[in-house]
Amino acid sequence: MRRPPPHTLRGQLTAGLVLLLAIASAAVGITTVLALRGFLVGRLDQQLEASGGRFAASLEHESRPDADNRPDTRGQAESTFGARLLRGAVTQASVVDEAADRKVALTPGDRGALTGVPADGRGHDIPLATLGAYRVTAVQGDDQDILITGLPLHPVEETLHRLEAVEAVVFGAALIATGVAGALWVRTSLRPLQRVTAQAAGVARLPLASGDVDMPAPLPDANPRTEVGQVATALNRMLGHVEDALTRRQASEERLRHFAADASHELRTPVANVRGHAELALRHDEPLPAEVQHALERIHSESQRMTRLVDDLLLLARLDAGRPLEHEAVDLTLLVLNATADARAAGPGHRWLLDLPEQPVIVRGDAHRLQQAIGNLLANARVHTPPGTEVTVALEADAASAGLTVSDSGPGVPAELQPEVFGRFVRADHNRSRSTGSTGLGLAIVHAVITAHGGTVSLTSTPGNTVFRVSLPR
């Protein structure tokens, strides 16, 4: 399996440094071996030239009747090879062995290699099956024959192999040392970049979406002439702009929250007065004209709706401000029973089902606010589903948490609305009649109340199966 390349900048720089050194070492090693081989082979050619071809010439004289029938091996190095060719055929072949000559049994391949050597007096490499690789020269003899003299290439090859082994050890050790030193050097050089990365990662983990955010301290001044220093400077400037924007946003949200709380509080009294006067007028003994009667009824209905809206806005403002909730033992089972009974009375056309554990589920929290959250979930299922819809309220618990699910078989929540369904003033149908009294704050209150209790609420919805899941710590 091929090993994947390093992904970190430190790994890439270290690998690149080692790779460049490996390429340079290979180039130096190949050049050194080739140069040494050329030098050693040149020395062999000089020795062949200095020998004058006496050994091969003595092979030529060996066939004369007046000769002593002994090749001349004086001054010849051991393993010197000599051969005589006449009319393209090898007639004699000997090698110097311990100051004497020894006949050589040539294979057909050896004879072919010898006959292929040009008689130009220059050195050529040929392989001999019986002797190994040789460096040979060929010259014209006195009897129109060709005399070949050669020296073995084995010492040259042995020297080159020894050099290759030494270079492999030296270059290998150099690569390992360079890799270790390069990794340490790169790691030291990239420490400022690691601080930049840690700073960016820390900012990414901050809850920037809402609330007051404590931005981390700026990075220490780095050398602006380096790339890392430029990145650190740019990051500090960006974090400064982000911190300023978050501060302004937080101040704007605080002003808006205070305005909502103050406006809601101030509106409660006039709305209550309007509602009271409308109820008083409707209780008048004398008959009222039909138009006046209808107008008073509408005023009373809208004042009730406005009262609920003001109460919801005031509750959200208090939760946003972090007002402490009551922290007492709450029987969640009883709250579910009461809320389901209220929902069954308000929506008799729906089928209300309960799935409760045998033992009461007790949590710590504000009973009034939890009752309101559960009631809003059931009201949401009743208002946004047609009559005949089956609504199931299930409660379960373990040692750590209590879970409440409200599921229905209605048409479901549109996919584009699901990500913001717990937002404020979010409506499934912006053009629908408001005769139901919905303010678009019901699910926002559920989310705010459950979050204030340290729990979570989520939604999964498909046509025919919509489920709201609430989890509360016990």
> With the C-alpha atoms ordered 416, 420, 422, 423, is the resulting torsion angle positive or negative?
negative
Which 3 state secondary structure label does DSSP give 453?
coil
Q: Decide if domain 52-152 falls under CATH 1.10.3470.
A: no
Q: Over the stretch 290-315, which tens digit does the pLDDT of each residue have?
A: 888 888 888 888 888 787 777 777 77
Which of 133-147, 194-208, 255-269, 357-371 bottoms out in mean pLDDT, i.e. has the lowest? 255-269
Residues in contact with 459: Cβ distance below 8 Å, sequence separation at least 6, in sequence order: 413, 418, 421, 422, 466, 467, 468, 469
Which tokens hold the place of 219? 């990075």
Q: In this structure, are residues 412 and 465 in contact, taking their beta carbons and an 8 Å threshold?
A: yes
Which of 182-191, 346-355, 364-373 bottoms out in mean pLDDT, i.e. has the lowest? 182-191
Amino acid identity, residue 145?
A: D
Q: How far apart are CA 116 and CA 204, in angstroms?
A: 78
Superfamily designation of domain 328-473: Histidine kinase-like ATPase, C-terminal domain (3.30.565.10)
Domain boundaries, the chain: 1-51+154-189, 52-152, 197-323, 328-473
Beta bridge partners of 420: none
Q: What is the pLDDT confidence band of residue 472, given thresholds at 50, 70 and 90?
A: very high
Question: How many CB atoms within 10 Å of residue 159?
Answer: 14
Please report the pLDDT score of residue 211 as a whole number. Answer: 62
**Residue written as token pair 């004058």:** 52
> With the C-alpha atoms ordered 85, 86, 89, 94, is the resulting torsion angle positive or negative?
negative
Higher pLDDT, 208 or 245: 245
Which 3 state secondary structure label does DSSP give 168?
helix
Q: Over the stretch 80-107, which tens digit does the pLDDT of each residue have?
A: 898 888 888 888 888 888 756 678 888 8
Q: Over the stretch 383-423, which tens digit does the pLDDT of each residue have?
A: 999 999 999 999 999 988 999 999 999 999 988 888 888 88
- In the Cβ-directed half-sphere of 272, how many Cα atoms lie within 13 Å? 7
Q: Decide if domain 197-323 falls under CATH 1.10.287.130.
A: yes
Q: Do domains 52-152 and 197-323 have the same CATH topology?
A: no
Amino acid identity, residue 367?
A: A
Please report the pLDDT score of residue 153 as a whole number. Answer: 92
DSSP 8-state class, residue 326: P
**Quick check: pTM over 0.75?**
no
* Span 50-71, average pLDDT: 63
Q: In this structure, are residues 367 and 335 in contact, taking their beta carbons and an 8 Å threshold?
A: yes
390-397 and 351-355: which strand pairing? parallel
CA 258 to chain CA mean position, Å: 44
φ, ψ dihedrals at 447, nearest 5°? -65, -45
Q: How far apart are CA 230 and CA 221, in angstroms?
A: 10
Looking at the predicted structure, is the pLDDT value of residue 433 above 50? no
Angle, to 10 degrees, between the axis of helix 367-383 and the axis of helix 332-346? 30
For residue 65, with 0-12 CB atoms within 10 Å meaning exposed, 13-18 middle and 19 or more buried, which class applies? exposed
- Quick one: residue 454, left, alpha or beta (phi over 0 = left, psi -120 to 50 = alpha)? left
